[in-house]
């Protein structure tokens, strides 16, 4: 159509007008965008970030990690939206969502009116956490964000909001890969939470290499229960936690199950527990308690006068280690519950344990040795103990003779 215009206008308006239209046609041809091929469109589609919500800026997926590294240490600019003093938490959250150009989440919106918030098994974007953090107020008492996709960046934003929550007594961030930066943000935030009683960082990928700050988790003055199960603690973590426990006077429950505590690592931990004056419950199940660890545990049972519940099931404890533990039990008068289930202690190890509990000073009321075969005479001795005081022994089956060592 454009190619015929010069001829038409030359007839109607003369030669000069036709020259102008020829120039115009050349300019249009020069700036006409080239159509993308199918392969180019597909490449552009694949470059978008995975799990991105509508309204967020798309970043090429291959540079996502690099971008996160570059901005992880930066302080985010606060959301600038007009909020009056009478605005509720829900309204603050919705205004923040508008500022971030994201859709508000129905579950977060419904829970913001409560002082105890629990969200489990949901996946949120970084901007979702930013909007949520702006709506957190000082009167928040309990926060559970279990398996919600927290990262180092989102934990950092969350902790900035939690710094003002002076009434927070429960914080559960289990099953989130928080990374080292996120872990350090949480430790720093503990100094601003004077009312915190319960902290859970189970299955958060906390590594042994994170250093002395692991021990700082035990230092909040009013913390009563700490769950650090399912992480990657080894000897260094045990050293730092053990050292912190020598100074701690308030922690009651400590869960270190499903870590990588092996070899001599338990020794450092038990040295701290040995002099601790507050810890009443310890869970070390699904770790490894070697001969050296059993020697240290024997001393804990003799010296410590506050520990009441001890769970060391599935710790690969052999009969010789069970004998060492029984020597400590014979002089212990405070332990009420002992779980030694699914350890290869054999009938001989069980015999040592029951004989140690057959003393007047023993306070053990439950002995769990599930998965272990027990000698008949040992069962009779356990029944005798049960006649004298409250005592239950959980075991697998009874056999008339000892098994072979």
Residue 80: C-alpha distances to residues 124, 156, 197, 214 (Å): 22, 19, 34, 36
Q: What is the pTM of this model?
A: 0.79
121 confidence band (pLDDT: 50, 70, 90) = very high
Q: What is the Cα–Cα distance from 268 to 33, expressed in whole angstroms?
A: 70
Give tens-digit pLDDT for 19-61. Answer: 555 655 555 554 445 566 666 655 655 555 444 443 333 433 3
pLDDT tens column, 185-219: 999 999 999 999 999 999 999 999 999 999 999 99
Indicate the pLDDT class of residue 82, thresholds 50, 70 and 90. very low
Per residue in 138-177, pLDDT (tens digit) is 899 999 999 999 999 999 999 999 999 999 999 999 999 9
């Amino acid at each position: 159509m454009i190619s015929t215009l010069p001829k038409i206008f030359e007839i109607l308006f003369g030669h000069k007008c036709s020259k102008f239209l020829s120039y115009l046609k050349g300019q249009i041809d020069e700036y006409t965008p080239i159509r993308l091929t199918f392969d180019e469109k597909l490449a552009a589609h694949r470059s978008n970030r995975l799990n991105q919500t509508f309204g967020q800026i798309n970043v090429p997926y291959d540079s996502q990690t690099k971008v996160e590294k570059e901005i992880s240490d930066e302080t985010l600019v606060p959301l600038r939206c007009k909020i009056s003093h009478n605005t509720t938490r829900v309204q603050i959250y919705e205004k923040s969502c508008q500022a971030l150009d994201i859709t508000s989440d129905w579950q977060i919106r419904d829970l913001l009116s409560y002082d105890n918030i629990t969200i489990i098994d949901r996946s949120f974007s970084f901007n979702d956490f930013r909007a949520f953090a702006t709506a957190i107020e000082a009167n928040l008492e309990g926060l559970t964000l279990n398996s919600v996709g927290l990262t180092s960046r989102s934990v950092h934003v969350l902790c900035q909001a939690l710094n003002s929550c002076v009434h927070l007594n429960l914080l559960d961030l289990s099953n989130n890969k928080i990374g080292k930066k996120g872990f350090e943000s949480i430790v720093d935030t503990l100094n601003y939470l004077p009312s915190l009683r319960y902290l859970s960082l189970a299955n958060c990928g906390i590594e042994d290499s994170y250093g002395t700050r692991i021990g700082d988790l035990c230092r909040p003055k009013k913390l009563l229960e700490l769950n650090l199960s399912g992480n990657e603690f080894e000897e260094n973590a045990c050293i730092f936690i053990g050292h912190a426990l020598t100074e701690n006077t308030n922690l009651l429950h400590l869960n270190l199950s499903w870590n990588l505590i092996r070899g001599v690592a338990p020794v450092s931990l038990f040295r701290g527990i040995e002099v601790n004056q507050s810890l009443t419950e310890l869970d070390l199940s699904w770790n490894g308690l070697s001969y050296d660890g059993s020697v240290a545990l024997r001393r804990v049972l003799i010296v410590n006068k506050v520990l009441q519940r001890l769970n060391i099931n599935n710790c690969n404890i052999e009969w010789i280690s069970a004998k060492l533990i029984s020597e400590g039990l014979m002089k212990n008068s405070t332990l009420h519950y002992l779980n030694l289930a699914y350890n290869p202690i054999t009938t001989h190890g069980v015999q040592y344990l029951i004989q140690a509990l057959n003393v007047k000073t023993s306070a053990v009321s439950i002995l769990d040795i599930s998965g272990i075969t027990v000698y008949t005479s040992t069962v009779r001795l356990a029944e005798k103990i049960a006649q004298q005081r409250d005592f239950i022994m959980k075991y697998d089956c009874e056999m008339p003779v000892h098994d072979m060592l």
